[in-house]
A and B are shown apart, each in its own frame.
Chain A
């Protein structure tokens, strides 16, 4: 038990300086969190095989993951510690104000208030010979004495709170020194970065938002453990940042590429994906493998950084498109959209995700909506995942660019619960959608490109013609000779307009 604090000492506390120090420590705690995120960015860059690979690279990544994990543990102590200091400041301010009021009340009596909150002498008792004014003065002194004692008691209660919060601020740091104060980094890392990493469970039937919260609550060591131990799960988890999905999916891809079963369709898909990644990276582009389900043939490849780009486009292709046959063309189209976007708004950072997250129908099944219904659910969730991975001010402008049957997929995605997590939709050569107006797609901006030479734009297989003026889309330019598959060609005017939409300058 510490010695009681004299009330006169409370009067000398420098609460202005106290506020400044606590405020500074609060800023330091916040900066430590930001510091860890920057450290994680270095680790992610280091973990890219194109930057550095081999045993030394793995060791360096491991060291940085440990440092990040220890930093997470430190943050978890600093934050409650500074919360206690903030409460301490409030109590100290209150204690000083009450102590000052107690001494002021005593002085008005006048009575003498001692440091322990008691009066120096008991109040004088009224005498029978006292005049009325003397009796009144005695009453006033007694009132002043009672008030001073009450205020002093309240001040001492606050002083008790100050001491409790000081202990709380120190206790919050206890996890950092289980065996005594840390003398070096190894001492600190021992309790905060154990060798055995335990993963908290992801809620069953999770939404992308829940997955994003789960992921952001993991330490760096837990995140990399999840990627290493369950790459297929992490790689397909909507709501997880793109860098992590990329690492996880590349691990799955590498395992398949190394597989001895070289005749399967999944192996052929893996080879095609690996070739596309290699080709883009050899051209100096940053590429992310955002989705990879080799059994279903589902692939998502982003040109650019989905975690950092200010402008993101999700390209949804149409019928007969497969990862095994079409990644070269899709990748080239994505590169052209990135180029058109950066041309529309020089200085922006754009990323285009080629989303083959549904099994596209063949020619015979194209008139039916079944693939679009499945694809719509997947696209809706994928868009929710992209948004959840970058909440608040980190959010990108997101444009869905859909071609042909892909527009039907978007139509069904908009039918799912919740608004479509996009800012704009571009429909290219649409065979019709079920929405009566563009507003049914649930985004602020809906654009449409339909060439007179494109018969698919007129078939109305799935509902309204999206180029009809009454439907409510804004038309994008086309050439009169532009065929169904030429909307993203570099020598056609539609591409430039799409770039403007993705950039948000149109």
Chain B
């Protein structure tokens, strides 16, 4: 039995957009965390400011990595959708070209 291959391009495109949006939101929080780290350092100047600043900066780094991954996957899915559409157009042209027939709306 062959593996079934189905794809709802608009739905997939929507999910790719959602992933991209998720990546952007978490990237914002990564920047916020880094800024909080800097602020923590100032707030405790003369005390453990450097250590708390490092904590905030590490939050920012980690969240930035998660955000980057989400954005990367979103972009990959968008590219996959574009690829599916391009492939379908090429296939349509190939098939129509072989017999010289125009497409029938379905």
Contacts and interface: CB of A to CB of B under 8 A. Distances in A.
Interface of B: 1, 3-8, 11-12, 15, 18-19, 22, 25-26, 29, 32-33, 36, 39-40, 42-48, 51-52, 54-56, 58-59, 61-63, 65-66, 68-70, 73, 76-77, 80
A13 B47 contact: yes
A67 interface: yes
Nearest to A25: B36
A259 B47 CA distance: 69
A480 B70 CA distance: 60
Contacts of B54: 170
Number of chain A interface residues as a range:
35 or more
Contacts of A77: 62
Contact of B8 (A5, A32, A51, A74): A51
Given A5-B46, A9-B47, A35-B26, A169 B7 contact: no
A49 B4 contact: yes
Given A35-B25, A54-B5, A182-B62, A169 B55 contact: yes
A55 to B, nearest CB: 7
Interface string A306-347: 000000000000000000000000000000000000000000
Nearest to B81: A52
Secondary structure class of chain B's binding surface, majority of residues: helix
Interface stretch (A56-64, A225-233, A296-304, A385-393): A56-64
Instruction: Name which of B45, B51, B62, B73 has the most chain A CB atoms within 10 A of its CB.
Output: B62
Contact of A182 (B15, B51, B61, B77): B61
B18 A162 contact: no
Nearest to A70: B66
Contacts of B40: 18, 21-22, 85
Specify which of B29, B52, B54 lies most central, judged by the most chain A CB atoms within 10 Å of its CB: B52
A87 to B, nearest CB: 12
The 9 tightest CB contacts between A and B, nearest first, are: A9-B46, A166-B48, A54-B5, A18-B43, A21-B36, A14-B43, A166-B51, A21-B39, A185-B69
B48 A28 contact: no
Contact of B73 (A60, A81, A92, A173): A60
22 contacts: A5-B48, A6-B46, A17-B43, A21-B56, A24-B32, A25-B36, A32-B63, A35-B22, A42-B22, A52-B12, A53-B6, A56-B80, A63-B73, A71-B66, A74-B63, A78-B62, A166-B51, A170-B55, A173-B59, A173-B62, A182-B62, A185-B69
A88 B52 contact: yes
A227 to B, nearest CB: 19
Nearest to B21: A38
Contact of B45 (A13, A67, A177): A13
Given A21-B40, A56-B80, A63-B73, A39 B22 contact: yes
Most chain A C-beta atoms within 10 Å of own C-beta, residue among B4, B12, B65? B65
A238 B25 CA distance: 34
Nearest to B70: A67
Contacts of B25: 31, 35
Contacts of A97: none
Contacts of B62: 74, 77-78, 173, 176, 182, 188
